[in-house]
Chains A and B, each alone.
Chain A
Amino acid sequence: MAAHPGGLTAVASRPLTNPSADAAKAAVSVRDVVRSFGPKGVLNGVDLDIAPGEFVALLGPSGCGKSTLLRALAGLDHDVRGSGVISVPDRVSVVFQDSRLLPWDTVLGNVTLGLREHDAESRARRALAEVGLAGREKAWPHELSGGEQQRVALARSLVREPQLLLADEPFGALDALTRIRMHGLLQDLVAAHRPAVLLVTHDVDEAIALADRIVVLDHGRIATVRTVAPGIASSADAAGHEALRRDLLTGLGVEAPHAPEPVHPAQPAAVGR
């Protein structure tokens, strides 16, 4: 949606000069947000807008403040000093790196947690079926595999029909095969429910595969913003994919290898740029 046909489009690090006009349309609006732990500034004036239905990946090395930004959007930073203006929609769901299922509640109980509607249970069953866990409603969380637990966490966040889905490295603790499957699942779910998404990750390939737009955070500031064209995400445009990948890795301070290995098994070998 937000992708430009040209494939790779660089955007200025402070994309919005007229906040009030754009903020009205945006699902998320972040203005000059500063957060600091003690004397150390973690976020040093971040501006970010996410349009309704837009999928933004927040990329950065560890310690760059990306989780701090996500927690600020989720309203989980009560005791952190800071300033700035953040506006988010009413319905916000969070998926954490750990599935964070209550161990004393069943899978179904975990998905319905906090739901007040009378049809909560039937909706939760539908959400569980959507993530491929129909029939496991009565299981305890510890009876599930790591990937299944994270699917329950996805069901728990999507059953609330969020306008904004915040995901903090949701696949970071999963093995590579499960991760690829989860990427597919997340894409399907996002396509079906159309929330705005902010995905925090340190995985460049994950960001390219999933996001409409990639924001690189460095030292508490937005360093780079890149739009991902559909062809690049699906690896149809192998050269564009590789160029974006190199570009992002360089932005993260990593030299990409000269002869890149195929990222996805199905991807054709990159032809010269």
Chain B
Amino acid sequence: MSAVLDRPAVEPHLDPDLDKRDDVRPTGKRLGPGRRRRLAWLLGPGALLALWTVTSATGILDPRILSEPWTVVATAGELIADGRFQENLAISAQRAGLGLFFGIVVGATLALLAGLSRIGEALIDGPVQIKRAIPGLALIPLLILWFGIDETMKVLTITLGVFVPIYLQTHAGLRGIDLRYVELAQTVGLSRAGFIRKVVLPGALPGFFLGLRFAVTGAWVSLVVVEQINATSGIGYMMELARTYGQTNIIVLGLAVYGILGLLSDGIVRFIERKALSWQRTLAG
């Protein structure tokens, strides 16, 4: 027997007083970004908020151009008190959520079909690239003619905006799977389904999550578009109504809500991404 394998695995003892001992070492220049710190992502948005507060308080920023933060908070309080805020937020969130859901399903399915078969790629990739070249706004007149101005049309517009980044990134992730793993799958006798489950899906997951981050932000952007063009409810409608009455504070509140929603949803996706891709060892850490 080879000696190395017979040796029992002994965990080396770690001195409990390690931190108290001298630690003199040469420190080279660190090129990576260093250790991840909790809540560090709040720093940028926080700085922006501080800048807004300070310029408003000192009068540098005219309230007619941009309402003060406290006015916006007060407005939010009023709108929450009479229930209009929750009502509009709920309908907006529902539209974005539905559009996102359908977009993810469509985008991921098309990416798998295009990535796993040559015929699928020949049929799907071209049309998606064409769709990608057409701005979402340009499709709205046609969608209104086909579906009217009810919820179907709104959810569909968001879906059309969402599925493209999901498709593109998932497809790229799929295509980027190392051929060596495909060979491996063959030598261990994986079935087609097993190959998709064990190799293709996890291999395409980093690409999918990148697409998801684009998609989530894109869903909110498409939402603004549909709610400001033709709607009788939703955050965008609330803002559009405020414009006609010159209520800057409500407009700014709407913007802030969109911003917070976008930041929150991106944070959620990144959290899930970190958990799901914990096998990765990257610069992001």
Contacts and interface: CB of A to CB of B under 8 A. Distances in A.
A114 B185 contact: yes
Contacts of A92: 187
Contacts of A84: none
B208 to A, nearest CB: 12
Given A102-B181, A135-B9, A93 B187 contact: yes
B279 interface: yes
A231 interface: no
Contacts of A188: 1-2, 5
Interface size classification for chain B: 20 to 34
Contacts of B5: 131-132, 185, 188
Of B1, B5, B180, B205, most buried by chain A (CB within 10 Å of CB) is B5
Given A113-B190, A114-B189, A132-B4, A96 B180 contact: yes
Contact of A100 (B4, B180, B190, B278): B180
Contacts of B186: 75-76
A153 to B, nearest CB: 9
- Most-contacted residue by chain B among A75, A102, A140 (CB, 10 A): A102
B188 interface: yes
B188 A104 contact: no
Nearest to A115: B188
Interface in B1-19: 1-2, 4-5, 9
Nearest to A114: B188
A226 to B, nearest CB: 26
B269 interface: no
A103 B186 CA distance: 17
Contacts of A140: 278-279
Interface in A128-167: 131-132, 134-135, 140-142, 156, 160
A140 B278 CA distance: 9
B262 interface: no
Contacts of A94: 187
Given A102-B198, A102-B202, A104-B203, A160 B279 contact: no
A102 B199 contact: yes
B202 A184 contact: no
Given A132-B4, A184-B2, 13 more contacts: A75-B186, A92-B187, A93-B188, A102-B181, A102-B199, A104-B202, A113-B184, A113-B188, A140-B278, A156-B188, A181-B4, A184-B1, A185-B2
Interface of B: 1-2, 4-5, 9, 180-181, 183-190, 194, 198-199, 202-203, 205, 277-281
17 contacts: A74-B187, A92-B187, A96-B180, A98-B180, A102-B198, A103-B280, A104-B279, A105-B202, A105-B279, A113-B184, A113-B188, A114-B185, A132-B4, A142-B279, A181-B2, A185-B2, A188-B5
